Structure 1
Amino acid sequence: MTGENQRVDASHSPDVRPSPTPPASRARRLAVPALYLAAAASAFAYVGTVDPNEPGHYPVCPLLRLTGILCPGCGGLRSAHAFAHGDLITAFGANALAVTAYFAFAGFMALWLVRAYRGGPVPRIVLRPPYWWALGAVALVFVVVRNLSFGSALAP
């Protein structure tokens, strides 16, 4: 083969190295978590403004309407409304599982913002299947208990 017909594969050449990417600015690192936080704050602001306790603003839970069974999300909007107004007792009374999720989300967002500010890695939620099964079991137990007479305190 002649020199003209030979292909040079630069990826296997020892003297060709990828150029290092410059580190992202702090503002760029904070942009994505700030957008997620703004979206969550907007949703809470809307639910805090438009009261779900007044009929006609939000749809009724289809499972509740069809079967009379409270799903794990039933009372979630009322819970978010109370949470937005700082009434944690009412929020827990409407949907304790949702309030727990609000706090978990807040903790995750705080961790993400701190890491983005410091230039650390983006936190990832990676759960092995047993943990997903455990979360599903907690939600199932929550549904069963809140639909029984002795668990009426968990019903909205």
Structure 2
Amino acid sequence: MDASPSPAAPPSAGPAPVPGHQGLPPVFPPAPVPASRLRRIATPAAVLAVVVGAFGYVGSVDPNEPGHYPVCPLLRFTGIYCPGCGGLRSAHAFAHGDIAAALGSNALAVIGYAAFAVLWVLWAVRAASGRPLRFEPKPVHWWGIGAVLLIFTVVRNLPFGSTLAP
């Protein structure tokens, strides 16, 4: 019995080249198989199902009754309404079709619901037709959203903006 190591096989450089092609990749690779329409809209449909489920839960478990949801930490420790304060009450009213109460609880959240609905419809239509949704906000857009949230927070905590407080 010989204890010497056996010579190692040379590493493989990939699949064997096709005779006459010198190992080059094909000029025209095979076209990708298009996904079915049902498969393309599966992700938007799943997102919608999660959102509808969340609204269904908030619609059935009343946030106006204490003990069902945690208290906003910023409101609890400082007494200042954050941009999300009243969002659950707004979602509860929205789920019950009471748009006026939803706006009274958190107007910015209702605008967010509308923005989500528009973006979701755009996403679903583009997915059904096989086109990707190109939503690439620039830094100025993110700064604008941050400024709107900051202004909304400041105004709803001032005496003249008490109509925006939940």
Query: Is the aligned partner of 1:49 residue 2:56?
Result: no
| Residue correspondences, number | 151
What's 2:5 paired with? none
Please give the secondary structure, in 2, of the residue aligned with 1:77: helix
SS at match of 1:127: coil
CA drift of 1:142 comes to: 0.2
**Counterparts of 2:116 and 2:14, CA distance in 1:** 51
Q: Which residue of 2 aligns with 1:141?
A: 151
Is 1:32 aligned with 2:50?
A: no
**Structure 1 runs, 4 residues or longer, greater than 2 Å off:** 4-10, 14-19
C-alpha distance 6-99 of structure 1, shift in aligned 2 (>3 A): closer
The answer for the alignment partner of 1:62 in structure 2 is 73
Select the structure of larger CA radius of gyration: 2
Give the structure 1 partner of residue 128 of structure 2.
117
Tell me, in whole angstroms, the C-alpha distance in 1 between the residues paired with 2:72 and 2:84.
8
Where does structure 2 lack aligned partners over 5 or more consecutive residues? 1-9, 18-22
Q: In structure 1, which of residues 107, 127, 135 is the aligned counterpart of residue 137 of structure 2?
A: 127
Q: Cα distance, 1:130 vs. partner?
A: 1.2
Q: Percent identity?
A: 62
**Larger fraction in helix:** 1
The separation in 2 between residues aligned to 1:134 and 1:5, in whole angstroms, is 55
1:99 to 110, 114, 117: 110
Please state how far the C-alpha of 1:112 moved relative to its aligned partner. 1.0
TM-score of the superposed pair, with normalisation by structure 1: 0.90
In structure 1, stretches of 5+ residues that fail to align are none
Give SS of 1:113's match: helix
- Provide the rounded CA distance (Å) in 2 between the counterparts of 1:5 and 1:47: 60
